[in-house]
Structure 1
Amino acid sequence: MKIIVPMAGRGSRLRPHTLTIPKPLIPIAGKPIVHRLVEDIAGVINQEIEEIAFIIHESFGKQVEEDLIAIAEKLGSKGRIYYQNEALGTAHAIMCAKDSMSGPIVVAYADTLFRADFALDTSADSVIWVKQVEDPSAFGVVQLNGNNQIVDFVEKPKEFVSDLAIIGIYYFKSGETLRSELQYLLDNNVVKGGEYQLTDGLENMKQKGMKFVPGKVDEWMDCGNKEVTVDTNSRMLRFLHNDGVNMVSASARIENSTIIPPCFIGDDVVLINSTVGPNVSLGRATHLTNTTIKNSLVQTHAHIKNADLDNAMIGNHAAFDGNFKAVSIGDYSVLE
């Protein structure tokens, strides 16, 4: 099994946090989004992951590439880097990794996280992962027949056809078949809005009689902007806490401070006269002094003092001293 992760977009809606690193490397409960994503996919498919192919923009740089390779290696897989330097659509992005499209594959977009406990139907030609939603008009949805097979894909339906939203993770029994269908789109310039779309390839496969079935996830968490990313961090912390995961590093120094779980406290964090939690992630070597913080995500090496924070997101190496509450401070910013 291989996993293909298109992630060439920088993540403009999450600026300033994505000005220095791409969105999929933003940490959620102490791990980068993309690390949690591929880890959870591996748990669902319950098969050996031979290779993880990351499709990035060449401008991301060598450090990002090394970080991604390291993520794959932590899962016992080979990491491979491909480039998409033009935003030409989902089908084009996937085809940038066409050399990895062989055998069974999972395609997963790196701006979403999930919790799921379903058995992957490897007899199907494709499994499209979905989540039941209250307002399907805001999503692309799948329509099912009486045999629980997908018979249609509908983008943002104005009238109700289904409440099963596509979350952006797909299993294909044959990577070669998907590659052939997407190559057809590129060769024949089949575009919508100037972009090559994966859904056009899926529609062609369905018309040829291939079997598509849904894989229903229990939780679907977005990381599109600051507000939903902070919320996703809080939700993931609660899940991990309920699973009994220890999220407080033994190397943290805690002086006259209180931690209200669930919280992630990274290596070498220092807490002095502070109250942390609930729902807070503090990255490696972050220092808090005289601070109360809850429902917030702080990355690495930040220094925060004299603060009362709620619904905050603070970047790497940032310094904050003040009385603001709901803040979003990018890497290396200083507010004193």
Structure 2
Amino acid sequence: MKIIVPMAGRGSRLRPHSLTVPKPLIPVAGQPIVHRLVKDIAKVLKQPIEEIAFVLGDPAWFGDDVVKSLEHLAKSLGAKASIYRQDQPLGTGHAIMCAEPSLTGPAVVAYADTLIRATFNLDAEADSVIWTKEVKNPEAYGVVKLNEKNHITELVEKPTHFVSNQAVIGIYYFKDISVLKDKLQEVLDENIMNGGEYQINDGIKRMMADGRVFKTGTVDEWMDCGNKNVTLETNAKILGFLKADGEEQLISASLQNNNSTVIEPCFIGENVVLHNTTLGPNVSVGDGCVIENSEVKNSLIQTHSIIKNANLDQAMIGNHVRYDGEFKAVSLGDYSVLE
């Protein structure tokens, strides 16, 4: 099994945090988004992963540190890391085709801007499985249309009348991804574009027209990381799940706790200092942070930041930030100073 991860976008909706760090590398509950996504997919697949192909953007933005991080992720799952580049933002179908040498055999395609919780088994009879989530307002999403056999017969974007309540979340399984590759090559050769981009859906629709069997795999949770507010919501959900699972150590043994209270669930990285502070619930704090005389809840603080005299709620703070003040729902990028 392979996993193909297109992640070349800049993540403009998550600025200022994505100005210095590619969005898929921004940590949620102590791990980068793309790391959590790939590990969760591996759990669902329940089979060995032989290769993870990452499609990155400009090397000036997705540099050596990013590549090393992704190689380490693949190695941790016993897989080979393949790195490809998408030099132009020409859409989801184009991004997949940038990984053309890896498009053989069974594979999962997953876009690195969401996180999931899922327990279903892949249907061995399906040529493809499109992962979906039941939603209350399907008119706001792309949804699947199903026939009497519960096979997917159509993809409908923001339907004006009820089609189904199963929204497409951007994760796909292909029994043989070379079939999708061939169809996407046709799309590129014929210059079929939607919104000025080559879309994965146009390749999928051609597979359906050939009679390929598409089924759904419904996830239990689908969590977005598109902007600050939803990223904080996702951080809180993931912390709750991890606390309930008990599979990860969320609070480092190196924590220096001076007259402070931690209200779980929280993630606290290495060498964090808390002084006269109440932290939590639903807070993630990266390595090397110092927080003094503060109350912090429902927030995400990255690494090596100094927070003093703060009352933070729904705050997102980057790396190497210095903050001393009375503001509350702040969003501060890397190396900001607010004193």
Looking at structure 2, the residues matched to 131 and 28 of structure 1 have their Cα atoms a distance apart, in angstroms, of 21
Query: Which residue number corresponds to residue 298 of structure 2?
Result: 295
Q: Which secondary structure does the structure 1 equivalent of 2:129 belong to?
A: strand
Once the two structures are superposed, what CA deviation does each residue of 1:139-184 show, in whole Å capped at 9, x if it has no partner? Answer: 1000111212111110000111111000000000002111111111
Describe the SS at the equivalent of 2:329: coil
**Unmatched runs of 5 consecutive residues or more in structure 2:** none
Is residue 95 from structure 1 mapped to residue 97 from structure 2 by the alignment? yes
Partner of 1:74: 76
Note the 1:312-327 alignment, pairs <5 A: 312-327=315-330
Q: Cα deviations across residues 182-206 of structure 1 (Å, max 9, x unaligned)?
A: 1111111111121111101111100
Mind listing any 5+ residue stretches in structure 1 that lack a counterpart? none
CA distance in 2, matches of 1:310, 1:122: 46
Q: How much has 1:107 moved relative to structure 2? A: 0.2
CA RMSD of superposed structures (Å): 0.8
Question: Match for residue 35 of structure 1?
Answer: 35
Number of the residue aligned with 2:314: 311
Q: Report the equivalent of 2:106.
A: 104
**Which whole-Å deviations, capped at 9, do the CAs of 1:91-113 have from their partners, x for residues lacking one?**
00000001111110000000000
Residue aligning to 1:178: 180
1:139-218 maps to which residues of 2 (within 5 A)? 139-218=141-220
Q: Deviations over 1:57-87 (max 9, x none)?
A: 1232111111111111111111111001111
Partner of 1:45: 45
Partner of 2:13: 13
Deviates more, 1:53-62 or 1:219-228: 53-62
Q: Which residue of 2 aligns with 1:255?
A: 258
Counterpart CA distance in 2 for 1:52 and 1:316 is 28
TM-score, normalised by the number of residues in structure 1: 0.99
Q: Render the CA deviation track for 1:183-231: whole Å, top value 9, x for unaligned.
A: 1111111111211111011111001000000000000000000010011
Q: Measure, in 2, the Cα distance between the counterparts of 1:253 and 1:50.
A: 41
Q: Which of 122, 127, 145 pairs up with 2:129?
A: 127
**Cα distance in 1, alignment partners of residues 72 and 19 from structure 2:** 22
Would you identify which runs of 4 or more consecutive aligned residues in structure 1 move more than 3 Å?
none
Larger mean CA deviation between 15-24 and 61-70 belongs to 61-70
Letter in structure 2 aligned against 1:140 = G
Offset of 1:129 from its aligned partner?
Answer: 0.2
Matched, 1:3 2:6: no
C-alpha distance in 2 between matches for 1:149 and 1:325: 49
- Equivalent of 1:277 in 277, 280, 299: 280
Select between 244-253 and 29-38 the one with higher mean Cα deviation. Answer: 244-253
- Counting aligned pairs with the same residue, the percent is 61
Find the counterpart in structure 1 of residue 234 from structure 2: 232
Cα displacement (A) at 1:248 = 0.5
SS at structure 2 position matched to 1:93: helix
User: Are residues 1:334 and 2:319 paired?
Assistant: no
**What TM-score, normalized to structure 2?**
0.98
What letter matches 1:324 in structure 2?
Answer: F
Q: CA deviation at 1:134?
A: 0.7
What letter corresponds to residue 301 of structure 1 in structure 2?
Answer: H
Report the counterpart of residue 289 of structure 2 in structure 1.
286
